[in-house]
Amino acid sequence: MNVTAEVTKPLSTKPGENSLTANAVGTQLSKIKKHLPLRVLSAADFEHWQTYGFVVVKQAVPAENVERLKSFLWEFQEMDPNDVESWYKPQLRDHAMRELNNSGMVEVYNHQTLWDNRQSQRVYDAFVDIWDREDLWVTIDRANLNTPNRSGRAFAGFIHTDVDTTLEPPPINVQGVLSLVDVDGETGGFQCVPELFHHFEEWKAAQPVDRDGFKPDITGYDVYPVPMKAGDLMLFNSLLAHGIRPNTSENKVRMAQYISMMPAAEANQSLRDLRVGSWRERRAPEGFAFPGDPREWERTRYPSAELTPLGRKLLGLDSWQQ
């Protein structure tokens, strides 16, 4: 195997880290030599992924999945898609990770509509292509409903990394964003700095030793807004400098689900139990970036999601060795 999962992991206090995931160790994702045949990505896609740190998988989930999740997110946020005035309620809880304030994060993690996309075969196959292995766990993450940046809603956008780029060797991780709407230049959505990733080692060597490992100096590099259609999944290397753009449109809403996968850490029974408990009891991860829903609606209003045989393995409920 090129990459393995560490069997111990403390609860996270770092940006973007999730207490229900395992650390990966081994070959950097940009250096993996493929052994398994590509399932979803083309050879050109895989080369782009390794060169620039991201790739877009077109139509990763069925359109009906997208529509079901969109309807649920409007309901969960107590907003009406046809009533703009309902879009500007204060966020339910402030973020310790301040750059996320007013970015539209939806604090829901285990609803059926989220799991339907996580256990989609095409989504799983895309991550198999990236990791070059089949025994993966899916992250238990949230969604986003980002309304236009007005009516006193202050959000300027940001660029950061979700791992500490000062570490040696650099952390190994991949993240993903499933777009639920068509995203154009003014709707907000994902932005990144691909040329910095392409020249990461040279850039890193030129940085001061006391720099903030989560907030890269992008002087001289262009920020690229990634266009996506509803149902597209973008995978990105966690070393890629990225962030959310402000929604400067008049009446468009950016909606997305965060989905990623990493090598399964089946020997870590305590982590496995935490993951299964999160699904069964509809609990949010513990971590710096995950404040949770103060209403506890997910736990009190909705049942545990039904999992497919693939979903049970992606959670850790069933072993990949069976």
Whole-angstrom CA distances from 64 to 59, 78, 113, 114, 228 are: 12, 22, 10, 13, 17
Between CA 235 and CA 192 the distance in angstroms is 12
The mean pLDDT value for 167-190 works out to 91
pLDDT grade, residue 75 (50/70/90)? very high
Cα–Cα distance measured from residue 202 to residue 82, given in angstroms and rounded to the nearest whole number = 49
Q: 3-class DSSP state for residue 222?
A: coil
CATH topology of domain 13-302: Jelly Rolls (2.60.120)
CA-wise closest residue to 230 among 108, 70, 32: 70
Does position 34 have pLDDT exceeding 60, yes or no? yes
In whole angstroms, what is the distance from residue 247 CA to residue 255 CA?
Answer: 11
Angle CA 133–139–143, to nearest 5: 135
> Two tokens at 302?
């909705």
Q: Which residue in the block uniquely carries the two structure tokens 């990791």?
A: 131
More confident site: 208 or 21: 208
Mean per-residue pLDDT of the chain: 89
Buried b / exposed e over 80-117, threshold 16 CB at 10 Å, is eeeebeebeeebbeebebebbebbbbbbbbbbebbbbb
Exposed, middle or buried, 219 (CB in 10 Å: 0-12/13-18/19+)?
exposed
CA distance 92 to 126: 34
pLDDT grade for 7, boundaries at 50, 70 and 90? very low
pLDDT band per the 50, 70, 90 thresholds, residue 12: very low
Give the model confidence (pLDDT) of 92-146 as tens digits.
665 555 555 556 789 999 999 999 999 999 999 999 999 999 999 999 999 999 8
Sorted by sequence, the CB contacts under 8 Å of residue 117 that are 6+ apart come out as 60, 61, 65, 69, 123, 178, 257, 259
Domain coordinates of the chain in residue numbers? 13-302
Mean pLDDT across 251-276: 95
Give the Cα separation of 177 and 104 in Å (integer): 14
> Token pair 């959310």 is at which residue?
244
CB atoms within 10 A of CB 234: 23
